[in-house]
Structure 1
């Protein structure tokens, strides 16, 4: 399996405040945004800033304060999501949410590592994965 992190998602308290910090402070340009999340294309991965409550709901966890986060590992097909979640559970992971299709598209599930760090295992048809493992926004 490729060693890669596709997305780092930071749980935040206020989307406008966070967007101002990243857009005006760093000068970064969002590649996608809606009322709950903003994505930035980074060098070979995505950074997401997502309202903590919405991120916690997506992971099916109790309310998350700002400062919460989820790491993501994207896979090349929808069919690869659940088998990887199952494999990780066999090796000490705790299933948080089995694979399913979120309203915004794609397919994803969540698993916690043995130290309770959340990982999203996801397939997103709008985010191709290069042979080197780089994800990019809709190219």
Structure 2
């Protein structure tokens, strides 16, 4: 089986609030919007934000579907880009979970939660090059 992820879908309580975080905070543009879902074309996969009641109904689960113990990551090209992006995301509805600092394994990172509590690691890793399409390659 091919090793890939096609889409990541996040349940959100308020789609407009979530849209502000992703569009104005990250600067991403939706490729599809309906009353209860928004899709963003990423580099190789889709990110969806779906009204949590609709997501729960689609999964045949009781609402709301809450985030679990995971984080998504957004790598940036330079160490100096980490904290300004964390601050920008906080200005558009995010909550800084951990300011930028250097972990023991190298690089530089911080964490921010989107308005629904989904954790994002904003990181710079000099061993993980980012190509012109935004693809990150695992390096050592």
TM-score by length of 2: 0.51
Secondary structure of 2:121's partner? strand
- Measured after TM superposition, the shift of residue 90 of structure 1 is 0.2
CA distance in 1, matches of 2:116, 2:139: 33
User: Distance between the aligned counterparts of 2:82 and 2:91, measured in 1?
Assistant: 15
Contact 1:74 1:121 in 2 (8 A): yes
Tell me what 2:55 maps to: none
Residue 39 of structure 2 corresponds to none
Residue 96 of structure 1 and its aligned partner are, at CA, apart by: 0.2
Deviations 1:9-38 (A, max 9, x none): xxxxxxxxxxxxxxxxxxxxxxxxxxxxxx
Looking at CA atoms only, which structure, 1 or 2, has the larger radius of gyration? 2
The RMSD of aligned alpha carbons is: 2.2
Moved >6 Å (runs of 4+): none
Structure 2: distance between partners of 1:86 and 1:68: 23
Residue 44 to residue 123, structure 1, CA distance change in 2 (3 Å): farther
Q: Alpha-carbon deviations, 1:56-99, whole Å to 9, x = none?
A: xxxxxxxxxxx511000000000000000000000000010000
User: How many equivalent pairs are there?
Assistant: 77
1:126 aligns with 2:137: no
User: Separation in 2 of the partners of 1:124 and 1:134?
Assistant: 13
SS of structure 2 residue aligned to 1:130? coil
Which ranges in structure 1 are unaligned for 5 or more consecutive residues? 1-7, 9-42, 46-66
